[in-house]
Structure 1
Amino acid sequence: MTRNPCRITGCHGTAINRRICQKHRVRARLYGDPHATPWATVEPLDVEAVVARQAKPDGLGAASRHEVARRLTALQLSADEIARILSVSPRTIHRWRAQDRTTTTAAE
């Protein structure tokens, strides 16, 4: 029996049925798009609400948490305070800040 490749460009998975692999089937079922990843999208309204309240968010994805950290950093909050609000370690905040500095430097 031959295995068919997933029809999604760049995917090396094996198609199970409907010509896409299990990973893309789950994404299509959950998010309506086989290319969707919840951790890669920023929800602006959720970000604004967390920044305004400076309280623990419910269900933010990784990209949204990173954006909240950026905005709270701009408000001069410490890494410890931002980590408490986002329920991550202060080391994560320092790592995100370093990534942002590297991205900013590379863009210039």
Structure 2
Amino acid sequence: MSASAAQCRAPGCQREARRNRMCWPHRYRWVRYGAYEGGEWSTADEFDIALAVECRRMPDGVTRLERKRIGLQLSERGLSLAEVARITRVTPRTVCRWRSARRRARGVS
């Protein structure tokens, strides 16, 4: 890193900052997931999932796992691809991938 270069603003990162005071890996994660280290996959609150499915809107602060499970449950209720994508705030292609992975896991082509 040069003497005049700024350091990435992500906690603990020593890389040279590029755009918006972040290095490229952290900028990519910030744009894609809204967090420096990607989204949380390990936890899911069943209450948040049930609430989102019933109300058909996303609560604040859902994890990536919760978002996926909400999308799949909305799909099972017969909502269109575009509607599931709108509610879960992902692209329609992401919903297609979720549905495809679920079908493969169940052994259905």
1:74 aligns with 2:76: yes
- Provide the rounded CA distance (Å) in 1 between the counterparts of 2:67 and 2:58: 10
Are the equivalent residues in 2 in contact too, given 1:57–1:86 (CA < 8 A)? no
Q: Which amino acid aligns with 2:99?
A: R
Report deviation, 1:81: 0.2
Corresponding residue SS for 1:58 = coil
Aligned partners of 1:51 and 1:72 also within 8 Å: yes
Q: Is the 8 A contact 1:69 1:93 kept in 2?
A: yes
Which amino acid in structure 2 is aligned with residue 69 of structure 1?
Answer: G
The match for 1:60 among 55, 62, 65 is: 62
2:49 is aligned, of 25, 31, 47, to: 47
- Matched with 1:103 is 105
Q: Distance in 2 between matches of 1:59 and 1:85?
A: 14
**Unpaired segments of 5 or more residues in structure 1?**
1-36
Give % identity: 33
Unaligned ranges ≥5, structure 2 = 1-38
* TM-score, length of structure 2 as denominator length: 0.59
Deviation of 1:56 (Å): 2.9
Larger radius of gyration: 1
- The amino acid of 2:70's aligned partner reads V
Rounded to whole Å, the distance in 1 between the matches of 2:97 and 2:40 is 21
Query: CA-atom RMSD, angstroms?
Result: 1.7
1:38 Cα deviation (Å)? Answer: 3.1
How many residues are treated as equivalent by the alignment? 70
